[in-house]
Amino acid sequence: MSAQVSLAARFVHVAYWYCVDFMVNLANLTHTSYHEANTWVLLLGLPGLLTLLIGVRVWQRLALRRGRARLR
pTM above 0.75, yes or no: no
14-31 pLDDT, tens digit per residue, is 999 999 999 999 999 999
For residue 1, the model assigns a pLDDT of 62
For residue 71, the model assigns a pLDDT of 77
* Dist. CA 22–CA 3, nearest whole Å: 28
CB atoms within 10 A of CB 24: 14
For residue 70, the model assigns a pLDDT of 80
Burial of 37 (0-12, 13-18, 19+ CB in 10 A): buried
Amino acid (1-letter code) at residue 70: R
